[in-house]
Structure 1
Amino acid sequence: MSAMEGDSFTLRTGLPEIQRDDEIEWRFGSSRTRLTRIAVGNITTCNDETFRDRLQLERQTGDLTVTNITNEHTGVYQLSIIIRNKKSTKRFAVTVYAPVPIPVIFSDTSQCALSAERSSRIFLCSVVNVSHVTLSWYKGNSLLSSISVSDLSISLSLPLEVEYQEKNTYSCVVNNPVSTQTRHLDIDQLCQIDCDLCFDSPEAVIRLVVSALISVAAVAAVVLLVNDIRRFGRTQTMKR
């Protein structure tokens, strides 16, 4: 069973109803810590700090619910059932996952300045401090590439090369067994932000030259205005 941090999960005995003479017991982990027990119609619950105020036992069926779960509740839960002096055992393997973060897409601005002949550009999709996740690039609904990690909490990045004039829909998806987050690639927006000063097209060069000329003209106008004001001031002083 897979569950997400902060949620709850329920382990079921499969019994329609517990009789007074039946006995139900739940244990957890390799140390087989007793969690809760029903015997002679009475319920007893452990005082283990990991499960404090998190256990709910259904009196009629013996189903166990664990609430407000964390990664500490990952492990094997053992159910023992004694009915008419016959004992049976079930085990449940539960894994608790953290919700995945929203991925971030960015591009390397140095690509533009260093490679004027490139007809494509590389974008990176990244997530940080993740474990047990898969990071993937999709073109529409088609999977292009993916990378997975388990156990360790690390940062992941996955590159995608796209033609400048590409108009297809791309998205980056990060997921684990209990949650999924998606970030769509807006090529026009990212290229506009990152590559306004790139020399990959005549339009970019023209924009740069025009901006420079406007700046020079503005500075020259201010200088001329200041000189005129000074000359006018000196003329007034000489007349006096």
Structure 2
Amino acid sequence: MVNIILLFCIWHLVGVFGYTDAVKSVSVMEGDSVTLNTELTDIQRDDEILWRFGDRRIARVIMNIPKYDNHERFRDRLKLDQTGSLTISDIRTTDSGLYQLRTIIRNEEFIKRFNVTVDESDQQTRSPPPVSVSQIVLISSAVAGSLMVVAAVGIFWICRKHRQTDQQVQTRDEEITYADPMFYKRNAQKAKSEMTEVVYTCLITDQ
């Protein structure tokens, strides 16, 4: 009879205050999102939801309004839904630890605990996959094609530069060929003029 009364008292305390030593283990990969569920269908205006990480409060719901504490660790990465469940996005290894949910529903208090373990991402721990022969052939073909394009562009510019140089040399030869007769013609005209002046001077002296 005493045992029955004792069990009834323990059950009553658990039902009223929600105390339990059970801890739910949650494992998640780094960079993913995880949701810690309250397992409630809805919450009323007078209900209160309180979330803690370790011994620090991080989020709560009061009068159906979600509020977040200014916690540098979880800045902009926490979200509470209409049931008070907590979602942690872009989770990190430093987020591993004990999370505690405290709910007060119709003046009854319930407590749940979650032991969250964040494992390192596969991208950091997994070695890069081996490169197949087909991938090597494709990479080699792409490199060879790029080299051919570069070589073709280089040859084009060299030929163009050489052509411009030939045109400049040919133009200079034409200018010199055209300038020489003009030079001789001018010299001849100058010599003739000097001879006329000498003859004219001699005639004046003889008179």
TM range (shorter): 0.3 to 0.5
Question: Relative contact order, CA 8 A, sep 6+: which one is greater?
Answer: 2
Higher strand share: 1
| Greater share of residues in helix | 2
Scaled by the length of structure 1, the TM-score of the pair is 0.41
